Amino acid sequence: MTSAEMVALAAIDEGKYAQAFPSFGPERRGAPVQAFNRIETERPIRVRGEILEPNVIVVLDPSLMDVVDVKAGLKPGGIAVVNSRKTPSEIRAKLKLNPDQKVVTVDASKIAKEILGVPITNTTMLGALVKATQVVKIDSLLKPLEHRFGLLTEKNVKAMRAAYDHTRTEE
């Protein structure tokens, strides 16, 4: 949810219309959580429902690929941004994506552990998302990150930029 909120705030700062909202499903501690963004450049967003056919999916926890169909509804031409040590080609095969769907990977867990000291990948994955989609400018995330993380901003920005630099696309 934190990542979705940061992207929405950055988009709004860029003059776009944006929403961020969670979907919790069966509520129990440790259960997978989905968070969604809608971003529109031309007109206000009137739809408030869950996104069933996303243009982009971001997988923060690679173990979810073994228990949840993370690519469910991904549109043709959509992008899967995955936290993984595996190559984009390996992830493509695992998720059984269509040839027109793009895959990018980054070892966000490793980056987060090295820079933040914990394997919490939410802000780290923002770098990969921006690299893959250009949905917002990376510098547009600085203000929302500072507002959310205060004294921890510098480390979170460093992790985000490291992920941006280390995001891998298919050859």
Contacts of 81 (CB under 8 A, 6+ apart): 56, 57, 58, 59, 104, 105, 106, 125, 128, 129, 132, 133, 167
pLDDT of the residue at 86: 96
Task: Report pLDDT for 132.
Answer: 96
User: Residue 24: what pLDDT?
Assistant: 66
Inside any domain, residue 59: yes
In a domain, 157, yes or no: yes
Check: pTM over 0.95? Answer yes or no.
no
Residue 101 per-residue DSSP state = S
- What is the domain range of residue 113? 50-169
Share of the chain above pLDDT 70, in %: 94
pLDDT in tens, 3-52: 899 999 999 999 999 999 887 665 555 566 788 899 999 999 998 888 89
The answer to whether residue 109 sits within a structural domain is: yes
Q: Which residue has the higher pLDDT, 95 or 26?
A: 95
Residue 10 lies in a domain: no
Examine residue 118 and state whether it is found in any structural domain, yes or no: yes
Give the chain's domain count. Answer: 1
Residues 62-78 have pLDDT tens digits of: 999 998 899 999 999 99
Asked if residue 152 is part of any domain, the answer here is yes
Q: Report pLDDT for 27.
A: 56
